[in-house]
Amino acid sequence: MLKSRISLIVILLGLVVAPSANAQKSKRTKDNNTEPAVEFSLPSHETMDQKLERMRWWTDARFGMFIHWGLYSMPARHEWVKNRERLTDADYQKYFDHFDPDLFNPKEWARMAKEAGMKYVVLTSKHHEGFCMWDSKYTDYKSTNTPAGRDLIREFVDAFRAEGLKVGFYYSLLDWHHPDYTIDRNHPQRIDNGTKEQYDALNKGKDMNVYRQYMKDQVTELLTNYGKIDIIWFDFSFPGENGKGRDDWDSEGLLKLARTLQPGIIVDDRLDLKDVWGGWDILTPEQLKVSECPTWNGEKATWETCQTFSGSWGYYRDETTWKSIPQLLELLIETVSKEGNLLLNVGPTSRGEFDYRAQDRLEGIGKWMRANSRSIYCCTAAPKEFEAPERTLLTYNPATNRLYIHLIDYPLSRLAVSFADKIGYAQFLHDGSEIRFDKEFIYTPVVKPDTEVPVIEVFLK
Ligand code: GLC
């Protein structure tokens, strides 16, 4: 299991840094159009410029909240617990029978996300376990049939929208509960080193056609019954031996459906359609700090890294490897400095609350964002001619022509800058107090100001 997680991360990493042979086939022409590698025309066939325009709210936002919530919050030992411990449906049934999030108050969640400075949210509507958080017509395996007794998605969507956040759904392609979903190498009932013949025997009588239709019906529900949905996050493909890829999901069909029902929707890259123009909107490197803006086909890509506070996505009671507030801030700043977005995950408890550690981190981030978010929203990498001074990270707002110097390690009293001649005026961002400079240095007070990562806002000439 750990091996398969590692190989998944390696695959994703590979996809980010080294475009596959397939991807090379799709060439973008000079006028920014792309010739599709595969004959596949999407309803929203668009140029690169049109795509960037469609996604502008998202690139401006830079910071969103991921929420992994499902039955796995009860065992509280990873959202892959069914797979890891090879649990059967019967073993897993107790979680369904006892799921009772009596403290669920999505207005509180939305408030916390907003106060942390997040601009959008993506919630697991169904994770790999197959449990549905809404009142789907196509299954009994849903929240309304548990002691929860309610459509959790409905309340969630209303609450986040009311706070002004954009709303997205994560939808798992894997399904470890649906009777027609064939057992594969990532399934709880997998066979170690199983041959294709062994899997065929095991899967006799299962019909993936039924499951494919089930996914379409559910995606239709999610993208029809809850108003405007801004993002859909399909997860994930693992083509190859005893795996599943685009043909198993009918990825093209799912994507066309999503784009038809919600024109403008932003789609992740896990449908196994990387080599198709229009087959994805964002690269999604997971748990990674990238050293530069990831590229695709030799061009910079729109990208979002998703990250956990600790190791797992679902609530994990005994996990202690929580990132600190300064680490998380650095992650956010670093991501924006490389032109990306950060989707930071919370795994609520089975009572329906954010764990105290998550609340603590969100509050810390929010405190910093309140004073410094100008260096995040609508910002991107600094133009090439601005070299980051030692132990700093730079972001830049092209609309205001302001440069932001993030003091990751606070300097003793001054900072050598190679671009002093371009500075018109400089101030600390958190309190708007002047920062003096000459031809070589920016002079900082000896005492570090009371903000986790001080930022110098530079008005460029
Ligand atoms: C992986 C995992 C999953 C998690 C997701 C978040 O694909 O399977 O548990 O939801 O990453 O990016």
Per-residue model confidence as pLDDT tens digits over 25-67: 333 333 334 444 444 445 457 888 899 999 999 999 999 999 9
For residue 401, the 8-state DSSP code is T
Pair 319, 448 in one domain = no
What contacts 38, CB < 8 A, 6 or more positions away? 275, 276
Same domain, 346 and 408: no
Does residue 450 share a domain with residue 357? no
* 311 and 418 part of one domain: no
Structure tokens, 82: 């069914």
Q: What is the mean pLDDT of residues 381-391?
A: 97
CA 154 to chain centre: 21
Residues 312-333 have a mean pLDDT of: 97
Instruction: Give the pTM.
Output: 0.91
Mutate to test the pocket of ligand 1, among 77, 235, 309 (most ligand atoms within 8 A of CB): 235
403-429 tens-digit pLDDT = 999 999 999 999 999 999 999 999 999
Number of domains forming the structure of the chain: 2
Percent of the chain with pLDDT over 70: 90
CA of 236 to the centre of ligand 1 (A): 8
Note whether residue 380 is domain-resident.
Answer: no
Q: What is the CATH number for 274?
A: 3.20.20.80
- d(CA 419, ligand 1 centre) in Å: 42
Name residue, tokens 């998202």: 58
The chain-wide mean pLDDT, for the chain, equals 91
Residues with Cβ within 6 A of ligand 1?
Answer: 68, 79-80, 235-236, 286, 306, 313
Instruction: Determine the Cα–Cα distance for residues 419 and 441; give it in Å rounded to an integer.
Output: 9
Q: Do 81 and 152 have their domain in common?
A: yes
Residue 2 lies in a domain: no
Same structural domain for residues 430 and 304?
no
User: Do 194 and 239 sit in the same domain of this protein?
Assistant: yes
Cα of 126 from ligand 1 centre, angstroms = 12
How many CB atoms are closer than 10 A to CB 65?
25
Supply the DSSP symbol for 1: -
* Range(s) of the domain holding residue 101: 9-375
d(C-alpha 447, C-alpha 169), whole Å: 45
Q: Return the closest-CA partner of residue 297 out of 311, 327, 277, 313.
A: 277
Q: Report residue 447 CA to chain centroid gap.
A: 37
Residues 18 and 143 in one domain: yes
